[in-house]
Amino acid sequence: MSEKSLPVSTGFIWAIIAAVVIIGLVPMTMKSKDYTTEKSENKMTLNSLTPEEERVIVHKGTEPASSGKYDKHDAEGTYTCKQCDAPLYNSSDKFSSNCGWPSFDDEIDGAVKRTLDADGSRTEITCAKCGGHLGHVFEGEQLTDKNIRHCVNSISMKFIPAGQEAAVQKAFLAGGCFWGIQHLLKDFEGVLATSVGYMGGHTNSPTYKEVCSGKTGHAETVEVDFDPGKTDFETLARFFLEIHDPTQVNRQGPDIGDQYRSAIFYRDDNQKEIAENLIKFLNNHGYAVATEVTKAGTFWVGEEYHQDYYAKNGEAPYCHIYQKRF
């Protein structure tokens, strides 16, 4: 008997059964539920703030001119976000503008976000990692060769003297479209900053268009700065292998090409050993892992419009979800 010839009552019963089966399968197929649970355990940790710090950093206030401790500060080191510890500025980019606030003519790549004020007259700068208010940026003043001035509230920053920055470590991870990998890693516990770019190819200064042609050999890669006091390379690598499918070869979901290959670019023998052991574990548990373990080379920072893409556009990854594998 064909399906079309079923009596109405029987067809109705089959429809009910099908609906129940589909509903029952939803929790099994929506792996994003697992990711939500994981993210609640690894959400960004923010430092506690004093009322005055909160006024400036959270509510976008301004400290009085010439009152901040870093206005005339000229020691060598790195300025980090007071709220989340993300590196923001190098002391080599600080200059005296006599404006009453610390001034910088460059930022650490990917560390600062720009947003036009509501009145359209000034451009606000915030920490790209946590959104904390820093100050404003101005161009065209001819104060330095770079012709730009980041006017930053001292109270929005902390200073790490030269020599202590070594505590920050790096990881380079590739697993499909770098938009998704960055989006899921940037708020992971212990991660200080992330940037997207290209690694593993054979040409210098590749552009996105060139990488997409498949002729440069680069993989879309995420650079991760992390605090070894809050996390470690193994923990990051485990999570990385759970937010993309490491068994896919030269692709991730609908994105196809060797630029979307899965790779861990190790910086030292310790990272190499950890990556190889994690892959061995997965292979022993039924996964045919295709992830490459390759020595890190030059990381070429990607175009600005690719940095924090999903955060800028209010979207979510379409081919990266969390799936527990360890």
pLDDT per residue over 144-159, tens digit each? 999 999 999 999 999 9
Q: What is the mean pLDDT of the chain?
A: 86
Residue 178 and residue 143 share a domain: no
* pTM tops 0.75, yes or no: no
Task: Kindly state the percentage of the chain with pLDDT values over 70.
Answer: 86
| pLDDT score recorded for residue 2 | 33
Residues 184 and 292 placed together within one structural domain of the fold: yes
Token readout for 253 is 């979901």
Is 258 a member of any domain? yes
- Residue 64's pLDDT band, with cuts at 50, 70 and 90, is very high
Residue 38 has pLDDT above 60, yes or no: no
Q: What residue has token string 């190790």?
A: 266
Q: Do residues 202 and 281 both lie within one domain? A: yes
Residue 21 lies in a domain: no
Q: Any idea which residues carry the catalytic annotation?
A: 151, 177
Q: Find the distance separating the first CA and the last CA of the chain, reported in whole Å.
A: 48
Q: Is 36's pLDDT higher than 90?
A: no
Q: Is the four-CA dihedral 119, 183, 177, 270 of positive or negative sign? A: positive
What confidence category does residue 166 fall into, taking pLDDT thresholds of 50, 70 and 90? Answer: low
The answer on pLDDT for 315 being more than 70 is: yes
Q: Is residue 42 part of a domain?
A: no
Where in the sequence is the domain holding 112, given as residue range(s)? 51-161
Same domain, 177 and 308: yes
Count of beta carbons in the 10 Å neighbourhood of residue 7: 9
pLDDT at 4 (0 to 100): 32
Check residue 165 and give its pLDDT: 63
Asked whether residue 70 is assigned to any structural domain, the reply reads yes
Helix, strand, or coil here: 49? coil
Is pLDDT at 17 greater than 50 in this prediction?
A: no
Same-domain status, 172 and 155 = no
Mean predicted confidence (pLDDT) in 265-292: 97
| pLDDT given at position 35 | 30
The 10s digit of each residue's pLDDT in 286-309 is 999 999 999 998 899 899 899 999
Identify whether residues 89 and 219 lie together within a single domain: no
For residues 183-211, give the mean pLDDT: 93
Positions of E strands within the chain:
77-81, 87-90, 94-95, 103-104, 112-116, 123-127, 133-139, 148-152, 157-161, 169-175, 191-199, 219-226, 251-252, 255-256, 262-266, 292-295, 300-301
Helices and strands in the chain, H and E counts: 8, 17
Confidence label for 44 from pLDDT (cuts 50, 70 and 90): low
Same domain, 248 and 265: yes
Band the pLDDT of 179: cuts 50, 70, 90.
very high
Whether residue 2 lies inside any domain: the answer is: no
CATH number at residue 213: 3.30.1060.10
